[in-house]
Amino acid sequence: MSVPSWLRQNILGLVAIFIALSGTAVATQVTSKKVVVVKAAKKGKRGPRGPAGPQGAPGQQGEAGQQGATGPTGATGTTAPLGYAFVGSGGTLVASGSLNVDQSNVTHPATGIYCFYDLPFTAHNMQATLLSNNINVNNMFSIQGGMGNVSDCPQVGGEDEDAYVFTFYDGNAPTATDAAFTALFN
């Protein structure tokens, strides 16, 4: 087949490829081996704009002029605890691991109950933490502590306790169990 013969047989396809590559939409009408361009559209032409969508949620404020006023400076806190205690499972205080708490401040009236009396400072809160040697994969120990008096700590010298700690094994049913812990007073 010769090139002119091939071109004549494929002219319509070549024109279609040319139009597709040029980006212009063209409608054609073929009449007796002639291609007639009926209508051409310019590239980039769009239809009419649709209706506006719903209003989006407002963004967060972030500009300096839109922030609230700065509040007053708070009181300066203490940088060190008022005291802390390292208490063995039998209620014996470890003096080298304690500050402002001595053995006379700690009692152990019953299994899993530890009471602090006549502390040489006024604490507002206490945090008790079980020591890691009490915890292993076979034991589930828990600790509870707080300020003020509870019925489990008897009065000493007519005074209620300042703070208390309860330790217990938390298996199927909580059971009072002696365990070593630290107590931090602020």
pLDDT category at 6 given cuts 50, 70, 90 is confident
Answer with the residue of higher pLDDT: 144 or 40: 144
Is the pLDDT at 13 greater than 80, yes or no?
A: no
Is the pLDDT at 87 greater than 90, yes or no?
A: yes
pLDDT category at 22 given cuts 50, 70, 90 is low
pLDDT digits (tens, 9 = 90+) for 97-135: 999 999 999 999 999 899 999 899 988 888 888 886 555
Give the C-alpha separation, 181 to 185, whole Å.
13
pTM, full prediction: 0.54
Please report the sign of the dihedral spanned by the C-alpha atoms of residue 145, residue 148, residue 151, residue 154: positive
Question: What pLDDT score was predicted for residue 137?
Answer: 46
Question: What pLDDT score was predicted for residue 140?
Answer: 63
pLDDT digits (tens, 9 = 90+) for 36-85: 554 544 555 677 888 888 888 876 665 555 666 778 888 777 668 899 99
Contact 87, 182 (CB under 8 A): yes
Is the pLDDT at 183 greater than 70, yes or no?
A: yes
Q: Where does the chain show beta strands of DSSP type E?
A: 25-31, 34-41, 83-87, 106-110, 113-116, 126-130, 141-147, 163-170, 174-176, 181-185
Rg (CA), the chain: 43
Answer with the residue of higher pLDDT: 150 or 14: 150
Mean pLDDT of 158-170: 84
* Distance (Å) of CA 147 to CA 109, 116, 127: 17, 9, 10
Cα pseudo-dihedral 21, 25, 29, 30, rounded to 10: 0
Q: Taking the domains of the chain in order of start, what are their residue ranges?
A: 1-42, 83-185
Question: What pLDDT score was predicted for residue 37?
Answer: 52
Cα pseudo-dihedral 153, 94, 147, 160, rounded to 10: 40
Is the pLDDT at 93 greater than 90, yes or no?
A: yes
